[in-house]
Structure 1
């Protein structure tokens, strides 16, 4: 029951993406949550197998192991992590928390999972609910620590390579997609799309994926329908010991996402982490082994995955849906609005946005949703933005 074709070398071509979502297992689940929180203007929902609340690890391996997997030492409460998120949103290092309200979030924790303590997964549910997300939580399936699929090669209670389990007739993948999308068509019996293998170096800061514990190759499953029509995008993040260099295409082949991709017009992006010093298991960075900025929009792995999603059209083709951190203070020579944009409260807001002096969130707050009009000076006063000239200019 091969569920993925042999890969073909290619690039991440732009498609008509109507919605962008993220999912993951274990370290990939923590990473999925980080991406959803930090880039909530881009990701519209998340499906997470066995992980904890945003930045539970607090940039500490000891905390990750003893408080966010086991519960041997105290951990931050959901309320504390929620306030941390608000503080970071106010500073612009993650997107506004208001974006999470109403987002569909699907969570899973198997009753046989002894890798992540149930209380930690429960914290994730509380965290999302407190921000107003629409949470569905499957915590009654007798699964071990694994992604669960109707064609998984391992027994339900297993916690062993390649960490893809089968639990009778249970189909958590269908549950997840139905919750995220509102409805889902039955999975295809045979996949007919293509698996594109691409060089992740084109999307990683500095062009060297190995330097941030990411593999050289990444993959994207593209159904035939997505070559000509609108599709959703699902970013699927593997867990530790589950990267391509170790288990090859096990998750892509047995995870059961591609079967639903074919019948539900969904591209599946499979970014790949790998090993490096401090990360012998090939985990995604959710405790700071590679960068202290790991849970922020400026985190190197976060940036790389988002670059891949945008290359495929995530966030809308050609429109400034990015809320990324400012990276340059050099203004462009042109102030032409983005394609399809016709009016705006202030041209200054647009000019400051394209010069990366303000985030897209701030641009929208100023009324800058649709383009270009007459300019007036824009100044920063404390944490706000105004036309008062007695404040410090940007």
Structure 2
């Protein structure tokens, strides 16, 4: 009798641990192979968790003319990593090493905007930004997430910052299969009645209708990401072959908003399947709020065994710039869906109709780049160089410049956005 009672208690506990709230349904339609067709997009936003949160911030900053706001679970400020894995690990996740202050990163952003490698920072003023950090999140230090809030506020964004939930390192929604304090695959947690997704969407969009409690009626499009990646080979930039987009029925013929959602490390489709798309609670809100949800997919490659998005330079030193390969690919997907006016970006170097193509005889001859002499420290702060293990290297070309300090000087010139060489 006692064994039976114990078994019943265990079954009940398991049932409680895996039961969703009565108003929520965890399901995603079977994917339909297709392409990203153009829609009437009235606003574009970006969201993400962890490496996807860093990537969401990079997209928002580099393409602030495209994205009107961002929702970020557990990440740090723009280019915190400074093209260094050590800095990413020990200054921008843990805080054992010194990191750039928000003020320094704001100035770096302004300098890059002046050079044309990111969009004008004035676009960020007034944008809605929603941030989240759980009290049981030991993966990204709270101080780093605080820096992200300060960075955005210093640029004039309208920031809402939720630090009240006892979540681990995860996306949090009423459909999460994991316990609130968990930090484990598939990194989607449920925290009682809390609905951070509604908070995020309300802050970004102004108001939202309740999520549907019925089965989803839209289409989950499975598309070839290679069609949007510079060079056509997504694996070469640590992106998966397949991406996904949830298209509500109302968006097939009417105006809709677009939300790009970026997974975290160990959370890409090839590892966790549909777990994020099923558990994020975004499709349920998309159905009732006329919103397309785009789910780009990263994958693993040498230097990226966890399938993270590039926020420290494992694939390209241009990772936080408009010319960053992953940023370019995601924005190409956005444009294919009709975001930012659709079509291709006239300043995108992968666009064959680029009006700044130096081989075009109708264009004026290129000017000779100016040489900039400064200390190696100042070069890194200005975004012309980066530091790794105490030495300085030119951004883009990776040319060694010597010790990273204020006493050692170098002279650099920019030959194209985000690519610096010694004079």
Give the TM bin, normalised by the shorter chain: 0.7 to 0.9
Query: 1:194 matched to which residue of 2?
Result: 219
Shift in Å, 1:205: 1.0
| Within-5 A mapping of 1:286-305 | 286-305=311-330
Query: 1:175 matched to which residue of 2?
Result: 199
Query: 1:259 matched to which residue of 2?
Result: 284
Shift in Å, 1:323: 7.1
Query: 1:32 matched to which residue of 2?
Result: 56
Determine helix, strand or coil for the equivalent of 2:231. helix
Aligned length: 342
For each residue in 1:287-345, what CA deviation from the matched residue of structure 2 results, as whole angstroms up to 9, or x when unmatched? 00000000001111001000001100011245x8x4745567x8x6xxxxxxxxxxxxx
Distance 2:356 2:173 in 1: 43
Alpha carbons 1:3, 1:259 under 8 Å: kept: no
Alpha carbons 2:239, 2:299 under 8 Å: kept: yes
Equivalent of residue 154 in structure 2, options 130, 137, 140: 130
Shift in Å, 1:355: 1.3
Q: Tell me if 1:248 matches 2:273.
A: yes
Q: Tell me if 1:74 matches 2:98.
A: yes
Q: Tell me if 1:210 matches 2:235.
A: yes
Equivalent of residue 118 in structure 2, options 94, 110, 122: 94
| Within-5 A mapping of 1:46-125 | 46-125=70-149
Query: 1:271 matched to which residue of 2?
Result: 296
Q: Tell me if 1:161 matches 2:185.
A: yes
Query: 2:413 matched to which residue of 1?
Result: none
| Within-5 A mapping of 1:214-363 | 214-317=239-342, 322=345, 324-326=347-349, 355-356=355-356
Q: Tell me: CA distance 1:381–1:179, structure 2 relative to 1, closer, same or farther (3 Å).
A: farther
Shift in Å, 1:140: 1.2
Distance 1:183 1:235 in 2: 18
Shift in Å, 1:380: 8.1
Distance 1:327 1:265 in 2: 32
Alpha carbons 1:3, 1:258 under 8 Å: kept: no
Determine helix, strand or coil for the equivalent of 2:76. coil
For each residue in 1:344-370, what CA deviation from the matched residue of structure 2 results, as whole angstroms up to 9, or x when unmatched? xxxxxxxxxx61369xxxxxxxxxxxx
The unaligned stretches of length 5 or more in structure 2 are 1-24, 359-363, 371-423
Alpha carbons 2:230, 2:350 under 8 Å: kept: no
Query: 2:69 matched to which residue of 1?
Result: 45
Alpha carbons 1:327, 1:356 under 8 Å: kept: no
Alpha carbons 2:74, 2:169 under 8 Å: kept: yes
Alpha carbons 2:103, 2:151 under 8 Å: kept: yes
Determine helix, strand or coil for the equivalent of 1:236. strand
Alpha carbons 2:225, 2:234 under 8 Å: kept: yes
Distance 1:43 1:259 in 2: 22
For each residue in 1:115-159, what CA deviation from the matched residue of structure 2 results, as whole angstroms up to 9, or x when unmatched? 000000000000000000000000111000000000100000000
Shift in Å, 1:169: 0.3
TM-score (norm 1): 0.83
For each residue in 1:247-306, what CA deviation from the matched residue of structure 2 results, as whole angstroms up to 9, or x when unmatched? 000000010000000000000000000000000000000000000000001111001000
Distance 2:26 2:160 in 1: 30
Distance 2:293 2:173 in 1: 16
Distance 1:226 1:271 in 2: 19
Q: Tell me: CA distance 1:71–1:231, structure 2 relative to 1, closer, same or farther (3 Å).
A: same
Equivalent of residue 19 in structure 1, options 43, 57, 74: 43
Distance 1:382 1:262 in 2: 51
Determine helix, strand or coil for the equivalent of 1:20. strand
The unaligned stretches of length 5 or more in structure 1 are 333-353, 359-376, 384-394
Distance 2:285 2:338 in 1: 20
Q: Please tell me whether Structure 1 or Structure 2 has the larger radius of gyration of its CA atoms.
A: 2
Detail structure 1 runs of 4+ shifted over 3 Å in the superposition: 322-328, 377-383
For each residue in 1:357-393, what CA deviation from the matched residue of structure 2 results, as whole angstroms up to 9, or x when unmatched? 69xxxxxxxxxxxxxxxxxx9998999xxxxxxxxxx
For each residue in 1:92-112, what CA deviation from the matched residue of structure 2 results, as whole angstroms up to 9, or x when unmatched? 000000000000000000000
